[in-house]
Amino acid sequence: MADVVYLHVGAPKTGTTYIQDRLALNRTQLARHDVRYPLGARGDMFHAALDLIERPWGGMLPDAKGEWDALVKRTRRAHGSVVISHEILAGATGEQVERAVASLAPAEIHVVLTVRDIARQVPAEWQERLKHQGRMRYGKFVRRIQKPRSEIGRSFWQVQGVTQVLERWSRQLPPERVHVVTVPQPGAPHGELWRRFCRAIDVDPDWAPLDSVRRNPSIGAPESAMLRQLNDRLRRTRLEHADYRTLVRHLIVHETLATEPVQQRITLPPNHYEWADEIFESWREWIVGSGVAVVGDVEDLRPVRPAPDAIWHDPDRTRPRQVADAALDALVAMIEEAARRDDPDEHLSVRVTKAAKRLRER
């Protein structure tokens, strides 16, 4: 059994894709220093995390049954320290946290939470929901999350509420085994988040020299408006979740819309920064008062207000021409995919996956 297990539990949209890919790329080099990242045949830890938190996730839960136990078995076979990482673990309930910690005993458990300021998390979370067939307007989303008892508010704070997540995951651990890694503000040196994460898991960054090029990219206001409207139209169809993932989320969003520089970045509405400052103060008070280990600077979590003359781009009020341009880009990608279909009997998701691979190779 591993001596130490680091549970990196999120939060979503805090550089987790980059961290996980860099861990995976450097598995062999890290193992030479007795640091294991025990991926299974699936190549990531999503299904194991999904099995633990037991969410439907677009019909994927049945396929995840037994994956957490399989991850625990791989961890038990390892020596030295082990890193387990997936951002949806942030949403685990108290009972699920107890199951996770108990299943990994008697290893010394550490919890790591990467944290980003709320002003950047709000638009990022809204966009992520759009990529999962969301249809809610941005303004309504911002208002709803400020009502914690609303359905949207509960689901948002379950994973983005720093104090709530830490309270659940730190209940059985001493403060020195709970690590808060702050995500640097824009302009920080490249790799700073990785170096901070390495300090949290007691790893020399030089042990993992291969850098990651993977990102979970953002799209701009017109592209987001187009995607929201597309989702609204698609709800009238019988498109399967698997086909949506490959056709819309992967091919249209990641491989087409997100490949261009963002011209109109979505930010927090200007009149909500006082609320964001209140969230920061509550986070800072809890983190400092709890005595948990902080890697980075808590001040990185303070929302940065835009310049007084900055133009705010409202994704609910985009110009029709700009939305149409985004829609045409998506249509071109779909036409290219359709033209490359080799076998009319091949399942749609398989065809689109092959098409996406060809687009990446262009």
Express each pLDDT in 219-263 by its tens digit: 999 999 999 999 999 998 989 999 999 999 999 999 999 998 899
Domains and CATH numbers, the chain: 4-118+158-214+271-301 (3.40.50), 221-264+319-361 (no CATH)
SS3 218: coil
pLDDT in the model for residue 340: 84
pLDDT in the model for residue 213: 81
pLDDT in the model for residue 362: 45
pLDDT in the model for residue 341: 74
pLDDT in the model for residue 120: 98
For the entire predicted model, the pTM comes to 0.91
pLDDT in the model for residue 218: 87
Considering Cα of 310, then 321, then 254, then 317, what sign does the dihedral take?
positive
Give alpha helix (H) positions in 203-319: 221-234, 241-244, 273-290
What per-residue string of b and e applies to 140-166 under the rule 16 or more CB within 10 Å gives b? ebbebbeeeeeebbeebebbbbbeebb
Task: Identify the H or E element spanning 354.
Answer: helix 348-361
pLDDT in the model for residue 329: 96
pLDDT in the model for residue 1: 77
Q: What is the pLDDT along the chain (362 residues), one digit of tens a residue?
A: 789 999 999 999 999 999 999 999 999 999 999 999 999 999 999 999 999 999 999 899 999 999 999 999 999 999 999 999 999 999 999 999 999 999 999 999 999 999 999 999 999 999 999 999 999 999 999 999 999 899 999 999 999 999 999 999 999 999 999 999 999 999 999 999 999 999 999 999 999 999 998 777 789 999 999 999 999 999 989 899 999 999 999 999 999 999 988 999 999 999 999 999 999 999 999 999 999 999 999 999 999 999 999 999 999 999 999 999 999 999 999 999 888 876 555 555 565 555 555 545 54
Question: Residue 39 contacts by C-beta under 8 Å, 6 or more apart in sequence?
Answer: 24, 27, 45
pLDDT in the model for residue 351: 55
Distance CA 203, CA 23 (A): 11
